[in-house]
Amino acid sequence: MNGERRVLIACGTAIATATVVAEKVKEIAKEAGIPVKVAQCKAAEVRGRIATFDPHVIVATTPVPKDLGIPVFNGVPFLSGVGMDALKAQIIEALKKA
């Protein structure tokens, strides 16, 4: 693995839950020593942002299409606290593999 990993965070409005999740993703990547660049968008904008931002991983708090060809994680555990440790581990693993 070398270079910056790009993570696209999608939610309903691109503002509220995406911002909370983006902060968490930055935090766990820093802990794992992985440099990341994070962008936020609305769920409806995901395809367009894939073309321009070229993310390695997508974390979404609202449903996004399943056929994107990029690992997609449900980011709601960052909000509910349930399953958060497992999600952190999965995202870090995906970032390392990317």
Partner 1 sequence: MKATQKQAETRQPWVREDLVIVPMRAKSAADAIAQLGARLQTGGFVKDTWTQATIEREKTFATGLPTPEVGVAIPHADVEHVLQQAIAVGVLEKPVEFGEMGNPDSTVPVRIVCALAVARSELLVTLLQQLVEMFQSPGVLSQIAGARSPAEIVEIFDHHIQIE
Tell the smallest beta-carbon distance from residue 24 to partner 1 (Å): 9
CA–CA separation, 71 and 6 (whole Å):
12
Tell whether residue 79 is a contact of partner 1 (CB under 8 A).
Answer: yes
Contact 64, 82 (CB under 8 A): no
What kind and span of H or E run contains 62?
none
Does residue 41 carry a catalytic annotation? no
Minimum distance, C-beta of residue 15 to partner 1, in the bound complex (Å): 5
- Which pair of structure tokens corresponds to residue 32? 């794992």
**Contacts to partner 1 by CB under 8 A:** 11-13, 15-17, 19-20, 23, 60-63, 74-76, 78-82
